[in-house]
Structure formats: structure tokens, C-alpha cells
Amino acid sequence: MSEDFQSDQDFALGPDDFPSPEEYQLHCLRHSTSHIMAAAVQQIFPDARFGIGPPIKNGFYYDMQLPRPLTPEDLTEIELRMREIVKEGREFQQQTWNKDKALEFFGSHSQNFKLELINGIPGETVSTYSIGDFTDLCAGPHVRRTSQCKHFKLTSIAGAYWRGSERNPMLQRIYGTVWPTKDELEEHLHNLEEARKRDHRRVGRELELFMTHEWSPGAPFWLPKGTTLYHTLQEKLRRLLSRNGYLEVKAPLLGSHNLFRTSGHWDHYKENMFIVEDEDGADFGLKPMNCPMHMLIFGSKRRSYRELPLRLAEQSPLHRNERAGALAGLTRVRQFQQDDAHIFITEDQIGEEVTRLVGLLKRIYTAFGMPYRYVLSTRNEEKFMGDIPLWERAERLLAEGLEANGLEYTIAKGDAAFYGPKIDQMVQDSLKREHQLGTIQLDFQLPRQFNLSYVNAENSESIPVVIHRALYGSFERFIGILIEHYAGAFPLWLAPVQAKVLSISEKTVDYAREVYDRLIEADLRVELDARDDKIGAKIRDSQLEKVPYMLIVGAKEAEARAVAVRSREKGDEGASPLDDVIARIRQEADFNY
């Protein structure tokens, strides 16, 4: 290990637990800065009681119980104290204590949350780290000195229940970020500010795409423009899937507990399901995913190897019982629709099907200008169904599928679904934030649970393999990400309103209506603004609505059978014949993956 990083190797994560040395170093940097923040808080609030302070993606946080609510001014003071600690270059001192010593130390300092943590740690010893007068229960790893953590910023304050339970005390959580260089910090802070401006909840409300209501929590209401956006994504995908051998099905939303017991969801996923009971006391569940229903469809008749691959796609509503506090706009909901499919194949067809799927993912995300990488998730030792040899075979086959396509990937140990390993596609948006969207999950287990079989070439019975796959993920979450990726300025083919016709005066309203009708006949999505208002106000409103094209008509345009074109990207483009403009917009709107 580099001398710049240290840990108690009996407790801590090490470099081999991370995809790259850079990610390990970031983990150490963020973990260390959370300790520096806690040390600064202790200077200001000597009676502070500390919970946990882990590194997270792009930053860190620390949960703590304080004598009063924090204010933005407090963050400024905490930052000043942190900079003093950083400037002093204090060394992180690691010690291994027996539990009795740890309980005595943290008990004497009234750190009741730390006492609870100590009692939950297996073994007879625990690891601590100290910087100056501040000592924390911690396994590491850390950087060597506080001076390595100088490019930081505290970003926000939030509330958080201790250990995530509403039955526990509410603590105050301070979030921060830290980066190896000043430029990286400034870029991240710029992106945070831009993310606030692009927040899909705000932009969605301003563009009248969707709404939410307290009487239907976790289920967005799609307004007309948002519904157009939703349907456009659905239809583009349907065309792509139809050209690639998929058959669309539509299964029931409600299933008996017997269905979900057979699939394993009753044992592994019941707490996330909405359960209902009929008048006879029988339990039913709203389906949280489509796979159990698709197993029934495959098993509904005798199948031959000649039918494989059998690709069943579905876009029906799904329901998951997310906690109320976790709901967030479109990105965390209770009702949603997935771009979902289950592909029934022979084991020999796995490599070819993985190649087809990564090809589809490439076509889609290249179209959106979103770079991506792949992660292979392996078996969770505590939560899996089936035989380990089958799991190991499935993991090897997915890895071979990626390698056969020359694709680099990282491994996420223990992140697989309970029925099989998976390849997740980590997509980067325009603000360089990563989102897990596409997924390819290889399943040897559910076909066995449902006793599925097909007649092979030797006229005997074989068990199919299933690939669970999604390209967008859920439509709701994908649209939320797209709203922020484009800041609401969607490309023409996706924009709910592709063009807006603006009349300059009442004298040109009739011609404006004619232009509008021509665009409608050309299958374009268009609106007409014939209000008795100044043209400048109409242009400003269209700009706020992020409409790709404004077609302005006055007396000159009406006489010449033309329109004055104003595009979102280029501004005023001058007048052009109406037929030419229609042809241009139609050509730009004619998009398929």
C-alpha cells in the first residue's frame, strides 16, 4: 500500500476491493474528510454525539446529534475549522482496542451511538482512528495526513433517522464533497449548481410534463406533453424490438401468492410488494416485475428448440412498495412501467444473445449522446436462490459474452439479483453523473422453479435459460434522467411540441391556422399561438417552453406562402418557403434507433 494511505488491514477495505486504484484513493480521501468534518464539529459543539460518517459517491456525510439545528452559517464556521485542521497536516493515528476499552472510552464521552455500533461488531477488538483530540470508531482506510484533503466543500444539511429507522432518533446529516485537485472540485460544484437548475421535478413542472399529488404518492400523473414524450419513447423502442425478433405480450397485474412463492419473490421480495387479500382470505400481489408471468406464458404449451430464442417483451405497469421517505419525482416511484423482456434460449445461444443485447444498448445510448460502461454483478453470499455451480457457470458465461465483444468491465461482488448474475450498464449524463439503466440478467433458476422445458434436437426434454433484460430501465426513471440530461431541451424527434406557429397580428391568424394544419397533416407535433399579443412575448414564451422551432407568420410571409424560421439552436434563420420548412422538419423528426 502507498505510504499516502493507511488502514487497519484486519478491519478495512483494501485496494483489491475497488475497481481501480483511483477509486480506492477517492474512497480514502472522502472517508478522511468526513472525519475532519466531525473533528471540526466537535470543536464547535463539544457535546455532539456522532453516528456514522461514510464516503459516498462524489463525497461524504456524517450523521450527528447536536444541541440545536444547524444553519448555513454553521457550515461556514465548520469549513473554517476544517481548513485549520487540514493546514496543520495532522496524521491519522490508527489503534486496535479491545471492546472493553472502546466501550469505556466512548461511554465516558456519552457517544451512545458508537456504543451501539461496538456491540454489533463481531470479535473482541475494534479499530479506532484519531486526529488530534478527535477519536472515532473506524476501520479505515484513510489518507496519511489531513493536508491531503484540502480541496473540499460542505454542500448541504439534511435530516436522517439513526440507522434509517423511523423508530430511532432523528439526526442531522452534513453532506460534503472532496476531490484530489482544485479543478475537479470546481467542476463538481459547477455540475451541482447545474443539476439544481435541471432538476427534473422543477423542469417537469415548468414544461407541464407531469405532476404528483399527495393522494397518490409515488405514482406520477402524466400530463398531455409528458404523455406524448412517454409514448414516443415507447413506440421508438417497439419498432426497434420488432425488427429484432421480439414479440410483445401483456400479462395480468395481479397474481396469486402461489405464483410469487414459486418464483421466489414471496421469500426474497415480499416486503417490497403490495399485498391484497380477496374475500376468501387468499393473498394476491401486484406484480413488482414481469418475469413470473412470462414463465407462465412460456410454460403454457409444449415448446421446441426451433422456437428459441423466444423473446417476450412487455411494457405493463408494475408496483413496488417503496418507503414514503424514499420517493423522489420520477426516479423513485411506486408505480412504473419497464422496458422489460425475457429471452428464452439454449445455453449455447447465450454468447450470441449477449452480443445482440450490447449492440442494442449501443444503438440507443449513442443516439442520446450518453457514454457508458459495464459492470458484472456476482452472487450475494447471503441472498441467492439455487445451486452454486449453476451460479458460477452463469457468471462465467456472462463474462465470456462481454469479453467476446471486446468490452471492458468491472466486477461488483454480491450485487447480483437473487436468481442470477447480471451485467449492468452505467450510463453517464451530460453532467457526468452515472445512472444504472440497461441490464442483462442471466437466470438458470426460475425455469427450474417453474418446471419449464423444451424439446431439443435429440427429441428429449431440456431446461431453457432465461435472460431478463431492460434497455431503458423504467420509463419513469429514464424520462427523469433525460429531462436533466437535456435540461428539458429535447431533440426534435423526442420533443412533445416540435414546432410552434406564431401569428404576428390578427390579420395573419388565418394563414397561421393554414400553416398549423399543414404541419399537422405532415404528422408533426405542433401548436398554434394566435393570441392577440406582441410577437416578442410569444417568442419568449416559446423559448421558455424549449420548443425546437418557432414558425412566425406576418403579412410578408402570408403573401409569399412562407414562414420566418426561428430555431432553438440557431435563433433567427430568416424566411423560407413553407413546403421547404415542412420537408426539413419532417426529415429531422424521422428518427429511429
Closest listed residue to residue 296, CA positions, set 520, 428, 451: 451
pLDDT in tens, 140-162: 889 999 999 999 999 999 999 99
Query: Tell me, what's the pLDDT at 590?
Result: 93
Query: Tell me, what's the pLDDT at 1?
Result: 41
Q: Which residues are catalytic?
A: 291, 320, 338, 340, 342, 422, 468
Query: Tell me, what's the pLDDT at 57?
Result: 86
Instruction: Give the C-alpha separation, 221 to 364, whole Å.
Output: 26
CA 475 to centroid of chain Cα atoms: 11
112-119 and 99-108 helices, crossing angle to 10°: 160
Exposed, middle or buried by CB within 10 Å (0-12, 13-18, 19+), for 91? middle
Q: E strands along 349-400, which residues?
A: 372-377
- Using an 8 Å Cβ cutoff, are 36 and 131 in contact? yes
- Using an 8 Å Cβ cutoff, are 284 and 256 in contact? yes
- Using an 8 Å Cβ cutoff, are 300 and 170 in contact? no
Closest listed residue to residue 330, CA positions, set 221, 462, 198, 466: 221
- In order of 63, 161, 549, 582, the CA distances from 515 in angstroms are 60, 58, 13, 9
Which long-range contacts link 180-187 to residues 24+ away (Cβ below 8 Å)? 180/25, 180/26, 180/29, 180/151, 181/151, 182/151, 184/151, 185/151, 185/152, 185/153
Query: Tell me, what's the pLDDT at 5?
Result: 60
Pairing relationship of beta strands 571-577 and 562-567 according to DSSP bridges: antiparallel
Instruction: Give the C-alpha separation, 399 to 409, whole Å.
Output: 9
Instruction: Give the C-alpha separation, 116 to 324, whole Å.
Output: 27
**What is the CATH architecture assignment of 203-486?**
2-Layer Sandwich (3.30)
Superfamily of domain 499-589: Anticodon-binding domain (3.40.50.800)
Return the CATH class of domain 5-198: alpha beta
Spans of all domains in the chain: 5-198, 203-486, 499-589
Instruction: Give the C-alpha separation, 479 to 200, whole Å.
Output: 9
- Using an 8 Å Cβ cutoff, are 53 and 37 in contact? yes
pTM of the model: 0.83
Can you read off the three cell numbers belonging to residue 72?
448555513
Instruction: Give the C-alpha separation, 134 to 328, whole Å.
Output: 36
Query: Tell me, what's the pLDDT at 164?
Result: 86
Per-residue buried b or exposed e for 52-86, using 16+ beta carbons within 10 Å of the residue's own CB: bbebeebbbbbbbbbeeebeeebbeebbebbeebb
Q: Which residues of the chain have pLDDT under 50?
A: 1-2, 9
